[in-house]
Amino acid sequence: MVELKAAALLLITFCLSAHPASGSYPRAQNVTWKSTNFKTILTWEPKPSANYSYTVEFYTANGDKQRNRHCIRSQSTACDLSSSLTDLNAYYTADVMSEPPLGATSDLVEFPHTSSPRFNPYKDTDISRPDFKMMVSEDKKKITLYVTDPLTALFKDGRQLNIRDAFADQLQYKVTYGKNKSSGKKVNTSVTNVIELSGLDPGQSYCFNVQAYIPSRSIDKQLGEMSQAQCSDNDNPSIFEVYSVGVVAAAIFLVLLLIGLVIAVTVICCKRRKNALKRGKEEKPLRDV
C-alpha cells in the first residue's frame, strides 16, 4: 500500500513537471510598437529561456484575433507586422502570449499574456527624412526644390508604395530655410513635391531643410524627420567662407611677421648708415684757422 502511494505521488509529480502551471511562464513586459514608413515592429522583453516561447496575436476592436506565422512559438522578442496590418486606419491591439516552446504541450486553456497599447498605422507611424534636389534660377532670385517621397514598407500590385501613395492629399512638405551662417529662418509649406522659393537675395548662399508635414495627425506626429541641410552656392563668398579660420589666422601671422622683418631690417640699416656717417665726421681732419 505504501509503495502504491509512493508510485502515485511520483506520477503526480511527473505530470506537474510535464504540464507546468501558468506561473512558470513569465509574462512579456514593455510591449511596444515601433513603426517608420509603415515598417511596423512589435517588441517586448525579456528574452525567453528554453522553457517557454512567445506567440503574438493581433486584432481590431470588432475583428477576430489573427496571427503572423513567423511569430508563433518563437524565441524572438520582436514581430514584424508590417504586412499584416492591412487596414491603415484601424486601431490594432496585440497580445504577446507566453507559451510552451515549439514541440512541447500543455494542458493550460489560457496562457499568460500582455497586451500592447493601441496602434493606428496611419496616425502613429513615423516618417523618415526625405531627399531633395535644388535648382537656382538664372537671376539667382529663385530656388526650386524637388522633393522625393520616402518609400514605405507597403506594396500594392507588386509595386512598393511611397508616403504620397499612403497619405494622398494629406501629405505636405515643410521647408525651413535661411541665409548661410545666419540664425534667421523662414518657413514655407507646400502641398506638392516641387517647391519654389522666390524673393531671395542674388549671390547669397541659402540653406534648406525639408520634412514631411501631415496636418491631420496629432501635433506630436505631424512632422516627419528633418532632411539633411543643403546649401546653394555663394557667388560673393567672404574670405572666411573660402578659407578656414586657421588658414586666415596663419596668413595674417605671416603678413605681420613679414612686416616686422621689413621694419627690423629698415631700422638696422638706418642705424648702420647713421653710425657710418658719424664715424666719417670724426675721422675728417679739422681745417686750419
Express each pLDDT in 55-105 by its tens digit.
999 999 989 999 999 999 999 999 999 999 999 999 999 999 999 998 887
What is the largest distance, in Å, between two alpha-carbon atoms of the chain?
Answer: 163
Q: Given this structure, which CATH class describes domain 2-124?
A: mainly beta
Calculated CA dihedral for residues 283, 286, 287, 289, nearest 10 degrees: 180
Say yes or no: do domains 2-124 and 131-242 share a fold: yes
Provide the residue ranges of all domains of the chain, joining segments of one domain with +. 2-124, 131-242
**pTM of this prediction?**
0.72
Helices (H) and strands (E) in the chain, counts: 5, 16
DSSP for residue 125: -
- Identify the pLDDT of residue 171: 98
Residues near 247 by Cβ (< 8 Å), separated by ≥ 6? none
CATH 1.10.3210.10 fits 131-242, yes or no: no
Burial 173-182 (b: 16+ CB within 10 A, else e): bbbbbebeee
Question: Each residue of 222-270: pLDDT tens digit?
Answer: 999 999 999 998 755 555 555 566 776 777 878 888 888 888 888 888 8
Residues near 150 by Cβ (< 8 Å), separated by ≥ 6? 37, 127, 128, 129, 130, 162, 163, 212, 224
Q: Which residue has the higher pLDDT, 135 or 267?
A: 135
User: Which residue do the cell numbers 515601433 mark?
Assistant: 34
- Identify the pLDDT of residue 106: 76
- Mean pLDDT computed over every residue of the chain: 86
